[in-house]
């Protein structure tokens, strides 16, 4: 492959484009807009001038510039543009649905909660999000593009999105009152445009939002990650101060969410999945819940106890969504695809990756249960959580082909399971390698998983144990097996295994 192709293809990260903002120059962004329009037209058997593409952005300083360049490229292809301005990603992606804009495709300028010096693009069509191979094709089209301007129409993606969300809340509550959420008090991390828009939405539905965190003068207005400790602490303090029913945190584009309950406990990762799964399974026992691969053993047991099926799949919000769509097409009842990061897509919301919808569903459920004198968070009282857990990122030192280097490590571990029966391959192992251990005479009470990162040249190691000291023991066994490997930086594993 020539060096120019390599430079373009390096912009792909999973099913998105992501890189330093200086790499997403105006020229490259124009070419990407042009290429997406031409590529999608060919896929549809149509001409670019018959397409309508929605374009939106997050609050990053470089996002406005990149969106403007994308728009120039799309209109140069003679496609029409719905300019959605500054909006949450779920609102933008709703524009590809007939009731919210009827666009043929959408491009969101965002790098989610990645470093502010990065930026990127997320793609959506009426068929759902793109795969990595699709993004590669668009990048190569852009490489060869020769880019001519078209009328850009304004599109109120934000307003239409929240109007649709209000209708969804009314249906879920079975209440068409003007303010159906009266009686709820919710604190929102409203220091970004997404959070501020959500506060206005809740206010209109009757929620008391006193204590929400608004930006201070001079703040950039970009939300921290919903698992950022300082952000969580600030929301916890606010929830306790105003005695709110819960707190809500989003990432910069609203595709991820986390919850804080009224006692100040963070409901995220396995807890959040368990909560939403219980809400759904309470209404439809037997449903399948698709998650990413690093969810806990306790979550699997919890979903089973609620009468559901836990289906682990690969990391990446697009991966779990596509798998849930595939399962439904095969006749399997699968209402939810959700990652431990807080990305969630509900079938009744068109499988849009939508943290705002997730938060709204939880708030509605909480109000229904509050009226009965119950707490929605009591649903997860029986979730068994590990005694110990850890995530370690191991840089891949092989720069030329990190994927091949990581696969060699995985194959080493898989081969070892043939020699040591105490290393059991998980039955639902679908990404990297997940090994289960029986410690101290018990069964399936510890595990580790090693996989390649979706976005970075890093192998990610997750480990959990239900017995004290178990993580150190299983990581010690792992380190002993791969300590001579030259393709990984094993320093963090060595320390976690107690081999100082």
CATH (domain of 30): 3.40.120.10
- Confidence band of 406 (pLDDT split at 50, 70, 90): confident
Residue 105 has pLDDT above 90, yes or no: yes
Segment 224-250 shows an average pLDDT of 89
Residue 317 shares a structural domain with residue 401: no
Residue 357 shares a structural domain with residue 426: no
Residue 144 shares a structural domain with residue 167: no
Residue 414 has pLDDT above 80, yes or no: yes
Residue 75 shares a structural domain with residue 96: yes
Mean pLDDT for the chain overall: 89
- Confidence band of 488 (pLDDT split at 50, 70, 90): confident
What is the 3-class SS of 166-235, one letter each residue? HHHHHHHHCCCCCCCCCCCEEEEECCCHHHHHHHHHHHHCCCECCCCECCCCCCCCCCCCCCCHHHHHHH
Segment 413-419 shows an average pLDDT of 91
Residue 286 shares a structural domain with residue 421: no
Residue 21 has pLDDT above 60, yes or no: yes
Residue 360 shares a structural domain with residue 402: no
Residue 133 shares a structural domain with residue 171: no
pLDDT at 443: 85
Domain end among 349, 380, 411 = 380
Residue 395 shares a structural domain with residue 450: yes
Segment 304-321 shows an average pLDDT of 92
Place of tokens 């091949």: 404
Residue 429 shares a structural domain with residue 484: yes
Residue 289 shares a structural domain with residue 400: no
Domain end among 155, 183, 198 = 155
How far apart, in Å, do the first and last CA atoms of the chain sit? Answer: 43
Q: Distance between CA 31 and CA 78 in Å, rounded? A: 13
pLDDT at 151: 59
Segment 213-217 shows an average pLDDT of 73
Number of domains the chain contains? 3
- Confidence band of 220 (pLDDT split at 50, 70, 90): low
Domain end among 345, 380, 415 = 380
Q: pLDDT tens across 341-380, in order?
A: 889 999 999 998 899 999 999 999 999 999 999 999 999 9
Residue 125 shares a structural domain with residue 220: no
Residue 136 shares a structural domain with residue 16: yes
Q: Which residues contact 291 (CB under 8 A, 6 or more apart)?
A: 273, 299, 310, 311, 312, 313, 320, 337, 338, 339, 340
More confident residue, 231 or 152: 231
Residue 213 has phi, psi (to 5 degrees) of -90, 110
- Confidence band of 109 (pLDDT split at 50, 70, 90): very high
pLDDT at 225: 67
pLDDT at 431: 86
pLDDT at 371: 92
Domain that holds residue 169: 161-380
- Confidence band of 149 (pLDDT split at 50, 70, 90): low
The model's pTM is: 0.75
- DSSP class of residue 354 equals -
């Amino acid at each position: 492959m020539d060096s120019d192709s390599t430079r373009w293809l390096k912009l792909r990260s999973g099913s998105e484009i992501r890189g330093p903002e200086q790499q997403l120059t105006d020229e490259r962004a124009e070419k990407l807009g042009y290429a997406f329009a031409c590529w999608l037209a060919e896929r549809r058997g149509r001409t670019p001038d018959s397409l309508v593409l929605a374009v939106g952005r997050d609050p990053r300083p470089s996002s406005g510039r990149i969106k403007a360049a994308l728009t120039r490229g799309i209109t140069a292809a003679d496609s029409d543009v719905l300019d959605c301005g500054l909006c949450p990603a779920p609102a933008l992606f709703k524009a590809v649905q007939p009731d919210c804009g009827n666009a043929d495709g959408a491009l969101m300028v965002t790098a989610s909660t990645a470093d502010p010096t990065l930026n990127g693009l997320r793609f959506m069509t009426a068929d759902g999000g793109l795969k990595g191979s699709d993004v590669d094709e668009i990048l190569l089209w852009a490489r060869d593009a020769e880019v001519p301007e078209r009328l850009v129409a304004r599109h109120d993606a934000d307003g239409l999105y929240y109007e649709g969300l209000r209708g969804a809340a009314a249906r879920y509550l079975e209440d068409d009152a003007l303010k159906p959420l009266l009686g709820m008090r919710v604190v929102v991390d409203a220091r970004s445009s997404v959070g501020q828009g959500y506060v206005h939405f809740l206010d209109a539905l009757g929620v008391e939002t006193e204590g929400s965190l608004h930006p201070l003068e001079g703040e950039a207005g970009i939300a921290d990650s919903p698992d950022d400790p300082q952000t969580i602490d600030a929301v916890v303090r606010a929830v306790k101060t105003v005695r709110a029913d819960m707190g809500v945190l989003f990432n910069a584009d609203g595709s991820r969410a986390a919850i804080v309950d009224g006692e100040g406990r963070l409901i995220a990762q396995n807890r959040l999945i368990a909560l939403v799964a219980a809400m759904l399974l309470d209404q439809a026992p037997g449903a399948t819940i698709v998650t990413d691969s690093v969810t806990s053993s306790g979550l699997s047991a919890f979903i089973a106890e609620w009468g559901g099926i836990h289906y682990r799949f690969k990391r990446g919000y697009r991966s779990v969504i596509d798998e849930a769509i595939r399962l439904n097409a095969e006749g399997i009842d699968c209402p939810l695809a959700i990652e431990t990061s807080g990305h969630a897509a509900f079938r009744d919301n068109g499988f849009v990756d939508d943290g705002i919808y997730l938060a709204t569903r939880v708030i509605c459920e909480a109000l229904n249960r509050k009226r009965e004198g119950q707490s929605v968070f009591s649903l997860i009282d029986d979730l068994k959580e590990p005694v110990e857990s850890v995530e370690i990122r191991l840089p891949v030192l092989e720069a030329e082909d990190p994927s091949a280097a990581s696969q060699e490590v995985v194959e080493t571990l898989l081969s070892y399971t043939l020699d040591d029966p105490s290393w059991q391959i998980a039955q639902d192992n679908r990404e990297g390698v997940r090994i289960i251990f029986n410690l101290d005479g018990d069964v399936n009470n510890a595990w580790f998983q090693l996989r390649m990162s979706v976005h970075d040249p890093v192998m990610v190691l997750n480990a959990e144990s239900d017995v004290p000291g178990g993580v150190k023991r299983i990581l010690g066994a792992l380190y002993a097996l791969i300590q001579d490997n030259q393709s990984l930086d094993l320093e963090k594993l060595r320390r976690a295994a107690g081999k100082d």
